[in-house]
Structure 1
Amino acid sequence: MFQIDKSKAKYEQAKQHLAGGVASSLRASMKPTPLYAESAKGARLRDVDGNEFIDYLLAYGPLILGHAHDGLTDAILMAMRKGYTYGLQHDGEIELADLLVEILPCADKVALSGSGTEAVMLALRLARAHTGKRKVVRFHGHYHGWSDSIFTSFPGAGLQQSTAAKQAATVPPGTMGQSESSLEDIILLPWNDVVSLESTLRAHAGEIAAVISEPVMCNSGCIQPNVGYLEELRRLTEELGIVFILDEVITGFRLGLGGAHERFGIKPDLVTIGKAMGGGIAVSAVGGKAEIMKHIDTAEVSHLGTLNGNGVATAAALATIRELAKDNGAVYARMEELFIKLSTGIRELLHKRHISGVINQVGPVFHMMFIDEKEVNNFDTFNKRDSGKYARFAELMLEEGVLLRPNGLWYISAVHEQADIDATLLAVDRALGLLVV
């Protein structure tokens, strides 16, 4: 029997002194209430009410090895026994930097940081220092962290676009409290539109320091780049002296060891990575061309952070990457195979129940949405989805023992098994049946 009484009580208790009642605003969107975890292992999580879930939330992406992975836990404990952080250098920094340069096709050098937001901040700073220009092109529906200089209004479950933002003629801020001038350097464009991209870059090449893009719009429907789009983006930025940044905080180490830029055969000037890299421990990095990264070498660009490259974070990243690399990265093919089975099965169940929906999948991640369209391949179409209906579906799935992100994005880990997929499809069938009642 599904119970949430203890989670409800803890949420009310938390709101007394924890602003918003949660440690990250996005988590408050979970219905019927934000859940409180008690423990987790492998692909399953148990909450304080004793409910057990097959987990496809996976901490919003980082848990690519699943919960409490033994090898990762051992590596973290070993590092902690030597000291959590030093404020000095240690071998872990060197080992991780060497490994990242070996794995990431675009990286001559790397810089370590603590979160995806910080990595993006550093990449933008490097681009401006390298070009002497200040403007940055970014795209509708992409997410690059929550710093004032890049966080724009982002409609969707848990990331709500305000009415004022919708009506704004300038680039809309992502939240109240952002400086009015924080987004003055941002040029916001539609993604996958080569004509708009080329005309803007050519018209403003003397002002644009960087173009930053996710390789796949994971948060906004898992929309993939059109054939030739990333190649054209690469060609134009190279021709016009603009730094091309691929934000792989989500896709890095999830779509393959070399991330999406290896999968798609694209070499950006800079790449940002995080989330899956640490297997659940906070760590991120910027990698890229030596001629750009040198601005850190010369101290022209300050790269700061008390906990950057700490022993626990580097040990976690090394253990995670080495685990994923076993047998030439065979785990990626296995995860993708399982997710193809799951997404195919859900499509069949949608058809069986006469429910309109789309599932966009790339590798071990997919986005499920309820929408009266045959396909979703652009941000405008994605915004036609019934986000309220999906949030209700996610709520029903909790009662069926499956933990999902309320916005439709599903992740799989290296430890999910065929039995989990089979159980999930049974749960989806029951939840869809209740959804149409």
Structure 2
Amino acid sequence: MELKRVVVTGLGALTPIGNTVPEYWNSLINGVSGAAPITHYDPEKFRTKFACEVKNFNPEDFLEKKEARKLDPFVHYAIAASDEAIKDAGLDFPNLDTNRIGVIWGSGIGGLKTFTDEVMNFANGDGTPRFNPFFIPKMILDIAPGHISIRHGLRGPNFSTVSACASSTNALIDAFNYIRLDMADIIVSGGSEAIINEAGMGGFNAMHALSTRNDDPTTASRPFDKDRDGFVAGEGAGSIILEELEHALARGAKIYAEMVGGGMSADANHITAPHPEGLGAKLVMTNALRDAHMTPADIDYINVHGTSTPLGDISEVKAILHMFEEDAFRLNISSTKSMTGHLLGAAGAVEAIAAILSVQNDIVPPTINHFTDDPSFDPRLNFTFNKAQKRTVNAALSNTFGFGGHNASVIFKKYKA
């Protein structure tokens, strides 16, 4: 069976540095930080008092007030980003076969705010179980693609992927495979996350995973800097319309890039720590390149996982050096988490958009907040520190790794007929 070709025809983003794709991309290439003191709740008693929150977002711009109240913020974000992507792709659903249009959506945690609020209300009551009837359907992860499909009447494959911070990259890979195996024409894919609340931040603080640079939140996310001290939590959503090439051409769709490969692997090492030599990370990039029928020499840019944790950044760089060898010094490498923070389950989709736009525009967004070189890293590596760089980007690879040892990588390249 000959595999179908898959292209990107629409993008949508709701991020801490921009509520649309143009705003997001402009902030990326200009090195804007989304970190600021937390406003969603009073963080005074928490070790970390800042995060990368979505700003100036009102779900009622997308939903009726009554409907918005029935949904968790991670679904609000999913609807906003997917609406933008669908509009960007010019999808006229009444004139398309919606039986062959699906939604595959990733989230690492789902409706954490809903879960927290409901359990706290019960705990603070008299023991009588007065739970909101929307508690369960607001909380479960698969409700995001469910709402997107209901909103647009899409009857194709519909489910969620859960692999911690690799969740939405796995969603993209599943969508890619469904299309190239001719099981769908179009998939609305992506991911969303909304964990900036007491439970989310308290839990990650208890793990000592978050930066505690409360005196300077704007520069707290410092991937590959000697003084990095943990990741900065982010929230939001990214949505990518993947479409079978001939279907896209037949309807005259614009094409951002072609998705050509996806890889998956496991560290099989530790529930939270990456393999110290980056073996799982090397394997996932190897698998993605094999799937794309490409070699390391074909990649120009890697949007790395790069969370700004002491161990994680070292592990990923070791994997790149092992995988790419001398080609590693020709690459541009950057971590856009230095600007957006870590969007957990939504990170893969949001960062894939950055990779796609780098391919389209031949610009590599920077790794900001670099102040002190880390002697652990080979000085010949180009981390694109502090300033975007113009270069031809024929192909870009995007990495995401999750707690549990889940690794996923995707590759996009310039579309050629």
- Which TM class, normalised by the smaller chain length? under 0.3
TM-score for both structures, normalised by structure 2: 0.26
Q: Which has the larger radius of gyration?
A: 1
